[in-house]
Structure 1
């Protein structure tokens, strides 16, 4: 099983590995070592190994050279520019001290002192001119750096199109060769393990898994490849580098044909994948639902109290929770902007890093609005604690914006809120809005509309039992459990080893 992260924060991959091992599969999960924590451990009966990957190809040699056509005055790199700036500052600081030394000099004639001051004026003028010249070149270097990071200049767009036209799906080799670092790090480990099934999570590992499968098949050893697609790659918008998306779309297209079976996170995404990659069969749907058995297991480890972490000592205080990735496209700002209109309510963001700049920006905005005492940020808890942890809140909020990948799936927090029996307030992204409206478990508001968000929250807080009673519907929550999804995963594996698939 392959994943392009450190495993720690990836609940889907953790549940996959543990549940597959629990029913008898010999599972080794390979992830990327981040330099934090252990590099080997166990998830139930599954073994986790983290690979120390060195990103040596993510910086292209040409990015370290001058760019005479783009920015003729730029230095070769920002590091060189910073060095030059500091060098000139040191020169000017030295000249100031030499001037002060002349002012307090003893034993020197007035004529000699004046001559020295006059002579010192020459390098002072030179240093001032040099400082301006270096500052100009530094600004040009920073502009060049931004162009290189975003690859959005007309010349970049032209060359991107050129490589896509001339190389087709192979163009990623030119546009984003950094993905080779995964191949060169993971590949030898996979070859040594000689697996029967390679389960590749998401697009980067699809290429790594495909190549490992081809090497094994070339050596006469049958290997089956499962591709687990977590998102619709053409719908991703979060990369600043404008070359990365077309590069990775090409990378995915090149390797998708080698998958013996495909699974994904939602029915909508399954349909998109089948159409875009011309798959012979619709991908199996494995929802990223909570692990009910793990959630209710007996353990000495106490689940933190979310209200206590927020300093709320009364059950009468409404607590609105958002749990998950903290980013602008997730729409968290609306929860702060609407808070002045929702008296007594508190907001808590459960996120990977409460000290991250975006989260701190939300807290600063709360201070500007005078509601800083009612906005909190707390870190993640282990995935088996998420549901009981969230159950201490009153409302689960999903305020995400209209992005292609947001429209097509019931995301993880939707299921987590549901198992925590929280009334929902969700933006009008297609799939989640439809389900929340059909089940009656929450209110839908127009994305990015503060007034409509406030209306939805007030409606839920006015009669929370109306919404949470939906969870008593027979079979609803049972369908949204990892136990149900793990059966699909096991069926896919079994079918492949019995001769099914491509």
Structure 2
């Protein structure tokens, strides 16, 4: 739309996306960034640098800025508890400034009444340096640090929003590092990815908005936090962590101008749990497929011949993903010489344990680990596999999701072997594209794999039929929904 006065196109509205990682390997974040840039938005993706230097690069049409996150708050808290006087004293001034900035932000965003009181207290201490130094000394060392930790813990336990301010000072470090960068970008809309960013997105939108320029913000819930892990009753640490994560989301989600998530099941639960005025927009983790053929084939890169069954798993290797079950299943599948390809992040910390497990089971020569490929190359890359495996274990969050790899397997026309987590098991049975096994049960997985290997053509035939299961699950259609949401918010 041209300007009625100048006759020129107005500048593109600026969308700033926030994420707590280094972007590489996060397929959802990457796809959203470059597809929104392709749709005409000016996009800057702000993430976290691995080192101490600011990093900048281009992600197709989007700019990426990775910000170093010094441990200003969390590092000081640890040094104070250890009683490292020299370190704590050196960091005291920096810590004092950080706490003042956070207290001021709490007060300006009207997070709660006691936040205003905290800002006033911080202001008084700034004006009375001797009192501030005394507070610093009294809260340091084995006694003072422990007392400070006990007080902080008590406040966290009493906090109706999970005590994230007390229990996770790294959130404060993240906000302090990113806030000036985002302010300098002058966003029109902030897209906050995942729970790390829900509070930061809300607070930045509130503090950067003016009567003449309202900064809108979107919360993108990548998973159902209340279902990511159900710890045992006696596991106090995990229970506190879960309470904290759910609490920070609860505190801010209703302030978002819009909420986006990855599946209908999660959207329904978020709407019910937080009494949202509207059901979150569902933007599926569908694949984007490059039109430029690279010729790379998974089977070639792992060195497995065409007649050899090649099972595939791609993604995170954490224990809850159930990859160990697939490795154990290779033992009873030795007679058919089944191999397993794992597409993993190069720095995935759980790969080593899986390699050792394969050695212990005597199947290491049939397990192949290869690195990630660009997200738009995944589908053609994996087409040469025999079966795509989704072995995830039973967690509430897993029951609700149709994860990225599931859509990638679909679009690669692979037969799919999934554990009996609700959503993916039901989808697999309904589409007729594969088999379901008992989660965590290697014998069940091996038995289901045998059935599939005996009838591969029947599963593949579904993709060529009139009810092609790939349907409307390409990324372009998901991106169009998000583009429409942005336009609605920024009319």
TM-score interval w.r.t. the shorter chain?
A: 0.7 to 0.9
From the superposition, tell whether residues 483 and 357 of structure 1 become closer, same or farther in structure 2 (CA, over 3 Å): closer
Residue 244 of structure 1: CA displacement? 2.8
1:3 counterpart residue number: 19
The yes-or-no answer on 1:349 pairing with 2:349 is no
CA distance in structure 2 between the aligned counterparts of 1:191 and 1:3, rounded to whole angstroms: 16
Residue 194 of structure 1: CA displacement? 1.6
2:489 counterpart residue number: 496
- What are the Cα deviations for residues 156-178 of structure 1, in whole angstroms up to 9, with x where unaligned? 99985x43553322722112122
CA distance in structure 2 between the aligned counterparts of 1:356 and 1:231, rounded to whole angstroms: 20
Check conservation: 1:231, 1:405, Cα contact below 8 A.
Answer: yes
Check conservation: 1:387, 1:419, Cα contact below 8 A.
Answer: yes
CA distance in structure 1 between the aligned counterparts of 2:54 and 2:434, rounded to whole angstroms: 41
Residue 271 of structure 1: CA displacement? 0.6
Aligned to 2:170, the other structure's residue is in SS state helix
2:132 counterpart residue number: none
Which of the numbers 57, 61, 67 marks the counterpart of 1:45?
61
1:414 counterpart residue number: 406
TM-score between both structures, scaled by the size of structure 1: 0.76
Aligned to 1:377, the other structure's residue is in SS state strand
Residue 219 of structure 1: CA displacement? 5.9
**Bigger Rg, structure 1 or 2:** 1
2:241 counterpart residue number: 244
Residue 497 of structure 1: CA displacement? 1.4
Which of the numbers 159, 184, 190 marks the counterpart of 2:182?
190
The yes-or-no answer on 1:26 pairing with 2:11 is no
Residue 433 of structure 1: CA displacement? 0.3
Which of the numbers 451, 455, 458 marks the counterpart of 1:466?
458
TM-score between both structures, scaled by the size of structure 2: 0.77
Residue 401 of structure 1: CA displacement? 0.3
The 5 A counterparts of 1:84-483 are 160=153, 162-164=154-156, 166-169=158-161, 171-218=163-210, 220-237=212-229, 241-242=237-238, 243-292=240-289, 295=290, 297-298=291-292, 302-312=294-304, 314-342=305-333, 343=335, 344-353=337-346, 356=348, 358-472=350-464, 473-474=466-467, 476-483=469-476
1:110 counterpart residue number: none
- What are the Cα deviations for residues 311-332 of structure 1, in whole angstroms up to 9, with x where unaligned? 22x2110000100001111111
Aligned to 2:255, the other structure's residue is in SS state coil
Residue 76 of structure 1: CA displacement? 8.0
CA distance in structure 2 between the aligned counterparts of 1:63 and 1:38, rounded to whole angstroms: 25
From the superposition, tell whether residues 55 and 469 of structure 1 become closer, same or farther in structure 2 (CA, over 3 Å): farther
Aligned to 1:273, the other structure's residue is in SS state helix
- What are the Cα deviations for residues 37-90 of structure 1, in whole angstroms up to 9, with x where unaligned? 992222222111111222332346256536xxxxxxxx989xxxxxxxxxxxxx
Aligned to 1:373, the other structure's residue is in SS state helix
From the superposition, tell whether residues 475 and 217 of structure 1 become closer, same or farther in structure 2 (CA, over 3 Å): farther
Aligned to 1:169, the other structure's residue is in SS state coil
CA distance in structure 2 between the aligned counterparts of 1:387 and 1:357, rounded to whole angstroms: 25
CA distance in structure 2 between the aligned counterparts of 1:207 and 1:26, rounded to whole angstroms: 23
Give ranges in structure 2 of 5+ residues lacking alignment. 1-16, 86-141
Residue 35 of structure 1: CA displacement? 3.4
CA distance in structure 2 between the aligned counterparts of 1:76 and 1:188, rounded to whole angstroms: 30
Size of the aligned set, in residue pairs, is 409
Check conservation: 2:383, 2:414, Cα contact below 8 A.
Answer: yes
Aligned to 1:325, the other structure's residue is in SS state coil
Check conservation: 1:407, 1:431, Cα contact below 8 A.
Answer: yes
From the superposition, tell whether residues 228 and 317 of structure 1 become closer, same or farther in structure 2 (CA, over 3 Å): same
2:113 counterpart residue number: none
CA distance in structure 2 between the aligned counterparts of 1:232 and 1:390, rounded to whole angstroms: 28
1:56 counterpart residue number: 72
Residue 185 of structure 1: CA displacement? 1.1
Check conservation: 1:441, 1:468, Cα contact below 8 A.
Answer: yes
Bigger CA drift: 385-394 or 214-223?
214-223
CA distance in structure 2 between the aligned counterparts of 1:336 and 1:204, rounded to whole angstroms: 33
From the superposition, tell whether residues 420 and 158 of structure 1 become closer, same or farther in structure 2 (CA, over 3 Å): farther
Check conservation: 1:303, 1:385, Cα contact below 8 A.
Answer: no
CA distance in structure 1 between the aligned counterparts of 2:274 and 2:379, rounded to whole angstroms: 36
CA distance in structure 2 between the aligned counterparts of 1:432 and 1:362, rounded to whole angstroms: 24
Check conservation: 2:58, 2:64, Cα contact below 8 A.
Answer: yes
Check conservation: 2:54, 2:65, Cα contact below 8 A.
Answer: no
